[in-house]
Amino acid sequence: MSKVHPVRSHSNAAAGGINAALNPEDSWESHAYDTIKGSDYLGDQDAIEIMCREAPHEILWLEHRGVTFHRNDEGRLGTRAFGGASAARTYYVADITGQALLHVLYEQMMRYHDKIDRYEEWFTTRLVVGDDGAVVGAIARNIRDGRMEVFTAKNVILATGGAGQAWKPTTNALICTGDGIAQAYEIGCPLMDMEMIQYHPTTLVENGFLITEGARGEGAHLYNANGERFMEKYAPNKMELASRDVVSRAEQTEINEGRGFPNGGIALDITLVPKRRILEALREIVNVGRDFAGVDITKEPIMIRPGQHYIMGGVKTNADGQTPVAGLYAAGEVACISVHGGNRLGANSLLDTLIFGRRSGEHAAARSHDVPMPRIADGHVAEEQAMIDGLIARERTGRRVSEIKDELGIEMNQNCAVFRDAAGLAHCLETIQRLEEEAKTAYIDDRGTVFNQDVLGAIELSYMLTCAKATTMAAIERKESRGAQFRTDFPSRNDDEWLKHITVSRNGGADPEIAYSPVTITQWEPQERTY
């Protein structure tokens, strides 16, 4: 079940590639160490070991099913360099890797069309919990005609992505509204590492459109308005290929200190890459530069800035995708295992999704043999339909849903972004609480049933507010700087007090309840992180 056609999933935006230690001179241990270091030692090392051990098999499995990974001059699978990595281990399809994977995987699913029921363009509004506390299905709305149905299931796997639309601007698609995160939270699942919000170093100044890290992997440089290649100051060894949190903070520091360009950006110079290579490996970015910035990236630099990109946190799961609620699984950006900790390495997102998506499916399939098909009591559909009817019937006395969403996004981008402090986060929380009240009376224009995006937008707004509140409260709680969380009032990492996960959960009240859980360390002890 998907609220868009599956090949329109936001995984399309994972352009740069997928990591794996497949080359003989590389090792899964090196990949794991880079991931742990990139996480600023907040990642759980047992889960990271699983991901990195299984990565080579995943690449070969995909290649054997038709993913046309780049080949080098010798005809072998080729790689490119990515940020925070000690080896070039990113396998890619030009700059459309996610899109290529989605199409191949959808083709594989269609091989079993007689066994798999597909519900495309259905919007899930609520998870259903049985009398024993286990998830037994979901309520969903057919977007095409407004019909509501209950879906009974022995297991439910959330693969709904992140909540980037709670920020403005964001690289995330309009569908990334935190649906699964909020729905799991509502039934009692804890959320973990929610304060860790990744800002990608290279998004278009004009609209936040993503410029793949593959550009820097191919050799592009960053320059400030003074013509300085400023990454020499912040990461003298890795330069532009330091971890994303390091590069984003460096860029934002240059902008804040007056060395950005008049439009508030930094120059990304891709002209250093040979034109033939740009047209081969970065062809979509050529189109993006021309269509959205009016720039020919083969001839002149393009203006970029850090932009909201990814949520390292999400629904707390184990390595088999199990949440603390029986029958409920989660995989991909909606889930927090935690393999990314405080900062995700580029090209580890597709890997996370594939490895733990497969493991979730395998575990859920095995569990299905041991549990009977549940029965769902009558009345759930009627309740959800009444909720939607109430949205449609609201008088036009409050604010528009879009206005509230825009204010939320601007607030989060101002005060829960690359740099944070107590005052800004407190203002952010106050704003969210006010917007929650305003959302209760927000009105919509469309009163129909066919592709009523206004109704979906109102429901999505509640999801985004839930995710934003959990993020802000966790950011207030973590009084240190680690990974993507940089507190100007607590600028140092503090392992003695804060080498732990922060979880937020619903305990009967309106506000999240804060708790902690330990970070799993297997063989790599925390060290000072330098690039």
* Active-site residue (options: 89, 126, 216, 244): 244
DSSP string, 207-239: T--B--THHHHTT-EEE-TTS--THHHH-TTTG
Q: How far apart are CA 63 and CA 69, in angstroms?
A: 7
Task: Classify strands 122-129 and 148-152 as parallel, antiparallel or unpaired.
Answer: unpaired
- How far from the centroid of its chain's Cα atoms is residue 357's Cα? 15
Annotated catalytic residue 244: yes
**CA-CA-CA-CA torsion for 158, 164, 166, 167, nearest 10 degrees?**
170
Q: Indicate the burial class of 204 (C-beta count within 10 angstroms; 0-12, 13-18, 19 or more).
A: buried
Q: How far apart are CA 190 and CA 479, in angstroms?
A: 20
What's the CA angle centered on 357, arms 351 and 358, to 5 degrees? Answer: 100
Q: How far apart are CA 281 and CA 68, in angstroms?
A: 13
Helix (H, G, I), strand (E, B) or coil at 300: coil
| 19: enclosing H helix or E strand | strand 18-19
CA distances (Å), origin 468, targets 20, 311, 515? 33, 11, 18
Neighbour tally for 451: CB within 10 Å: 14
DSSP state of 512: P
Q: How far apart are CA 170 and CA 182, in angstroms?
A: 19
Helix (H, G, I), strand (E, B) or coil at 193: coil
Structure tokens at 300: 């002149």
Q: How far apart are CA 385 and CA 142, in angstroms?
A: 12
Helices (H), 332-421: 349-368, 380-393, 401-415
Q: How far apart are CA 214 and CA 141, in angstroms?
A: 38
Token match 């994303």: residue?
Answer: 244
Neighbour tally for 205: CB within 10 Å: 19
Which residues, including other chains, have CB under 8 Å from residue 76's CB and lie 6 or more apart? none
Q: How far apart are CA 273 and CA 216, in angstroms?
A: 9
Q: How far apart are CA 250 and CA 236, in angstroms?
A: 12
Residues noted as catalytic: 244
